[in-house]
Structure 1
Amino acid sequence: MKRLFLISLFLICFFSRMVSAQQRHEKLIIESNYLLYLPEGYQQDSLKKFPLVLFLHGSGERGNDLEKVKINGLPKLVEAGRKFPFILVSPQAHAGEGWESKDLMRLMRSLQKKYRIDEDRLYLTGLSMGGFGSWDMAIKYPGLFAAVIPVCGGGDSSKVWLMRNTPTWAFHGAKDDAVPLKASQEMVEALRHHNPAVKFTVYPDAGHDSWTAAYNTDSLYTWMLSQKKFKYSQITVAKEDLERYQGYYVNSLKNDTIKVDAGSGVLIGTMGNHRLEIKPYQEHKFFIKENEPVDIVFSGKKRKQQFVVNNERQDVYKLIKK
């Protein structure tokens, strides 16, 4: 089975085609060991769905002994008797390996089938190596998590704009000599340009153990559990206001031309034989599907008008004629 994913302003869809060849059926099994904590009431109420928190440990807890995962963070608190109102899943990375987002995604899909999980309240957190893993997975799967809490982590700040709609609270110790404070600062500063509400807590006297204070912050759980998966919501915009965006736009490679027209409360984008409604969620910002992490942002005036399609990358389309 080959799968093509064609992403443009007008073709946000999945399709597949069968490939004929002499092939045989095989099976790949990815082993993922994890600690599971089920909240009170899970076994008693067979209909209720619960939030899920995916916790990623640090490098010192890797291996094949799940007891090591209880050394730090949320599993440590559970082992000490703390009760949480969410399902907690704490996988263990193999010895010598880091967190692979694609493997964690396979685990997530399995968990969603196996347990009664509230799909709108999936949360991700991790410390040190797990902090890096949290940033990475949130970037690679934007729109999956309702909130992300990276503790003394870091990552690729050039791609953090993909988390523009993901509530994020980062933690770090100012005296951390294993993962410098700058690693979190760069991520937060880059994200703040796209998500001004990002939260960042720095513990002035903490070294490479800021997770101790972070996971003992009661307000963290209150904040986290109040977040739900982001969905775009259409607003009402008068047709005459939409008409300012009408025209023909071409991308930077000059191989895609898009015609934009004003419809009834929406913009209509046309490329070839394909037409798509583009719905406003702010005066100059638009979306295609409420639960797809894709949006279109217009800027500029008159002949210098353009829009950016924010998807897996950012594509700029400039006005060429009205």
Structure 2
Amino acid sequence: MTVRLFPEFETSLSQWSRYVSRSGRLLLAGSLCLLVSLCYSLTAQAGEVEVEHGTILRGDVVPILGLTETLSSRLEGDAEVKLPPRKLEGYPIIMVDDGVVRYFVSRRTLTRINNDQDLSLYETFKLPQRVTGRGQMLKVVGSYENVTDFDKYGRRTVTLKTNRGMLPLLQGVTEITPHYLKITGLKQQWDLGMRTTSVKEEILDAMLKNSIDPLDPNERIAVARFYIQAGLYLPAGVEFARIEEDFPEYKEKLAGFVTELRTLQSQQLLNELEQRRKAGQHRLAQTALAKFPTDNVDQSILRQIREFENDYSHRRERIEKALFRLGELEAEVKDVKNRDLLQACRREVNSQLNYESIDRLGAFLNLENDDSLSAREKLALAYSGWIVGAANVVTNLDTALNLWTARAHVLEYLRNEDEQLDDNMIETLSKLEGVSTAVVKQMIPLLPPILDTPIRDPENAFPVQVTDPQAQVPVSYSVLLPLEYNPHHTYPMIVALRAAGSKAETELHWWGKYKNGPGQSQRRGYIVIAPEYLTEGKREYKDNASAHYAVIQAIRDARKRFSVDSDRIFLAGHGTGADAAFDIGMSHPGMFAGVIPIAGNSSAFNLHYWQNDKDLAWYIVGGELDRDTLEHNSLLVNRMLRRGYDVIYAEYKGRGYEHYYEEIHRLFDWMELHQRVKYPKEIEAKILRPLDNRYFWIRTDGFPRHILQGPEYVGNGRIRARPVTLGVSIKLGNVIYVKSGGKSYSLWLNPELVDFDKRLEVHVNNKTKFNDFLRPDMKAMLDDVRNRGDRQKLFDARLDF
């Protein structure tokens, strides 16, 4: 009766959550928030909330005034009497407690709050534990040196590394739900939670079986239902089969559960298939389609499977037709002059035509049997579409072939290291008939990699050395590509910063490898790079200009080598890497779609920079007993939440300094919902360091002496600062106003920001610096691509003052 998955997808999602890396240092613990506990007792309501970007959080919904009691009383007065406890209005922050994690979000970002979730529907199992020595409260949780597996009674030993040596602690599971395990210290006061799916299935099964009467079929059915609710469909199927074998008279009663299980399992497989297709992993997707179980599967799922199969069949037919017709049409062209170039075009298309690139020939395939078009015109449709996309095709073959020549010149320009040749190369490009700045702009997103990077083993990480001849210091990074990497597919990218003392490979594996198999980034189609941002031997991050430079250069280099979607770059880090992610992300918000600090502390600069990143999304993960992390970050995060910024703060209850692999699926789901903000027309930013001088489409230089010297540290990680404010706005009438303490400015502009058909005025510090029509500038566009490698945000002109 067990419904089996096909081999490529037999590992369930839960099995990807077993690995939890551990750091090697002891950290101080943070204190519990009394205000949260108070509000919880008064207002906890089981339900769910939906954030405006699409994330849904489920658990007990609690309105609070601040992340800590101190902040709440300082900002709002007495929390106990401020508002009636059941009303959410007036409370700026909503906490959602799912049993393991407290998620904090801004109430202003919520689109829906539902307090009607019935938790009694979930199967729950109690495990009796004998608790002794509860007078001692555990306030510090450092690194886990060793953790044993739970036995069938739900007990295990956790050995913590402390400054007094190794400390073994006995823990016991008191409650098992489909979503989490409640765990308590048996000799110390230490209460925490753990995701159910992070426990090995055989261990979970042993604990469940030990908590029930195996001769009671209803209790056995409860276990099977528990597995369904936990999303563990394979063990659910096994359990139903065992129940039917032990209690054949229950076969009819089990039928409804088994039907539900098959539907859920099929839907899970379907979702996995769709994810693989979206990630460009078509070989895996087609193998899965061929082995998809169809017996007793819901018709709606079968219909979607047929749609997938038909789409792949249609694409295969179009590829075969394109290859055949290009050869036929070329034979009809008697133009000897262009024969060699036509053959070269067809060779490239033949070698690179696949499921990802076939859409470039869409216009050609739609019109290839149109008798009103000549063979030359049809070839023009094909070969121009290959260079500039199906929406920008031409019917003149000479013009189409000019596009191929232009692409070669563009690549040569972008790869050129001798700037003295730039003007000559631009002049050559401009003289090609049919090639303009607008055409080059269409061409850039479809270019081959600007930098050649041999990929010998695409499924494993490999090092890359940045080769920018203008690099101030050597920069390197490691990269892990997704499965079936294809340069014709555009991939989101994670910039992962390692903790001090760990290796870049460890960070890459957290995101993308699982034991010896593919992990989440490889499965979901994300590129991951790990820049070497810390100098050798450095154990902490603090106002590190070289780290900023290394991360930014690594991103720019990766965009030139790999097919990166620059609108979906996420900065993340663990420990020291999270400290750096706080600082770098807030200092360069225009580069990222989101920032994910895990077990990190915010920078002293963040308290001055936090308003700079009002359009940047944040997902912050920490532990309740990890140093004083909550207290350290609370003022910053509290301000962002109260202002309505897109922030999720996830605090694991009773947990310390960890890597929190349990959060991996939610992190990827969150990333799927975010992309870099459209460049704003209104910018107001504070600048404290010369390296933080570019915001979106404007850069300023020539700072006063106190900025060049850097801020003064005054203790407790704080700085005495006098920031320079950069204010920029684009107003009606095609007018740009710039105000700042800098002495020089560069503005990169495109039609999304200003109207190129109208006269543009630029006023800098109340002085008119420009009053004329903007003209598209091919050199300015290509120079910016060569510098930043960004193919998603292109600029048609640049102004310097």
TM-score, with length taken from structure 1? 0.59
Counterpart of 2:518? 81
- AA aligned to 1:185 is S
Q: 1-side partners of 2:515 and 2:491: how far apart?
A: 17
Q: Counterparts of 1:214 and 1:78 in 2: how far apart (Å)?
A: 18
Q: CA deviation at 1:212?
A: 2.7
Post-superposition CA distance 1:129-188 (Å, at most 9, x none): 0111111111221211011111121223222222211011111100113x6222332331
* Contact residue 475 and residue 554 of structure 2 kept, 8 A: no
Q: Which residue is 1:42 aligned to?
A: 485
- Per-residue CA deviations over 1:50-92 (Å, capped at 9, x if unaligned) read 1011111111215xxx55546x732554755322321011234
- Sort the Cα spacing of 1:79 and 1:159 in 2 relative to 1 into closer, same or farther, 3 A: farther
Question: Where does 1:109-128 land on structure 2 (aligned, <5 Å)?
Answer: 109-128=556-575
Contact 1:170–1:184 (8 Å) recurs in 2: no
Report the CA distance shift for 1:198/1:85 in structure 2 as closer, same or farther (over 3 A). same
- Larger fraction in strand: 1
User: Structure 1 residue 59 and structure 2 residue 500: aligned?
Assistant: yes
Pair 39,209 (structure 1): closer, same or farther in 2 beyond 3 Å = same
Q: Distance in 2 between matches of 1:188 and 1:228?
A: 21
C-alpha contact 2:589 2:613 (8 A) present in aligned 1? yes
Q: What letter corresponds to residue 39 of structure 1 in structure 2?
A: P
609, 613, 616: which one pairs with 1:163?
613
Amino acid at match of 2:620: A
Q: Kindly indicate whether the alpha-carbon contact (under 8 Å) linking 1:75 and 1:90 is maintained by their aligned counterparts in 2.
A: no
Query: Superposed, which structure 2 residues align to 1:208-223 within 5 Å?
Result: 208-215=657-664, 218-223=665-670
- Evaluate the alpha carbon distance shift between residue 76 and residue 180 of structure 1 in structure 2; reply closer, same or farther with a 3 A threshold: farther
Find the residue that maps to 1:188 and give its secondary structure.
helix
Distance across 1 between alignment mates of 2:767 and 2:659: 54
Are residues 1:90 and 2:559 paired?
Answer: no
Structure 2: gaps (5+ residues) = 1-468, 542-546, 682-726, 738-761, 772-792, 795-801
CA drift at 1:27: 7.2
Query: What residue identity is the alignment partner of 1:198?
Result: V
Give the aligned length: 222
Distance 1:26 1:50, change over 3 A: closer
8 Å Cα contact 2:615-2:646 kept in structure 1: no
Q: Which amino acid aligns with 1:225?
A: E
Q: Is the 8 A contact 2:585 2:595 kept in 1?
A: yes
When residues 115 and 272 of structure 1 are mapped into structure 2, their CA distance, relative to the original with a 3 A threshold, is: same
- The Cα of 1:37 is off from its aligned counterpart by 1.6
Question: For residue 147 of structure 1, what is the amino acid of its counterpart?
Answer: G
State the alpha-carbon separation in 2 of the partners of residues 262 and 29 from structure 1.
Answer: 40
Distance 2:580 2:678 in 1: 24
1:104 has 2:551 as partner: yes
Deviation of the 1:193 alpha carbon: 4.5
Match of 1:190 in 2: 639
- Distance change >3 Å, CA 275–CA 198, structure 1 → 2: farther
What residue in structure 1 maps to residue 400 of structure 2? none
What is the RMSD of the two structures over their aligned residues, measured on CA atoms? 3.6
From 580, 595, 598, the counterpart of 1:148: 595
* TM-score, normalisation: structure 2: 0.25
Question: Offset of 1:121 from its aligned partner?
Answer: 0.7
Question: Does the Cα contact within 8 Å between 1:53 and 1:88 map onto a contact in 2?
Answer: yes
Aligned to 1:312: none
Percent of paired sites with the same residue: 19
Structure 1 unaligned spans of 5+:
1-24, 235-257, 277-290, 293-322
1:166 alignment partner AA: L
Do the aligned partners of residues 69 and 182 (structure 1) sit closer, same or farther apart at CA in structure 2, a change above 3 Å counting?
A: same
Give the AA of the match of 1:191: M
Q: Which residue, 186, 205, 208 being the options, matches 2:654?
A: 205
Q: What does residue 768 of structure 2 align with?
A: 273
Q: How does 1:3-14 map to 2 (within 5 A)?
A: none
Hey, what does 2:686 align to over in structure 1? none
Where does 1:287-298 land on structure 2 (aligned, <5 Å)? none
Give the counterpart letter for 2:618 in structure 1.
Answer: T
Structure with larger Rg = 2
Deviation of 1:199 after TM superposition, in Å, equals: 0.9
| Conserved 8 A contact 2:620-2:649 | yes
**Distance apart, 1:205 and its partner CA:** 1.7
Matched-pair contact (CA < 8 Å) for 2:570–2:593? yes
2:370 counterpart residue number: none
- The equivalent position to 2:476 in structure 1, one of 29, 32, 36, is 32
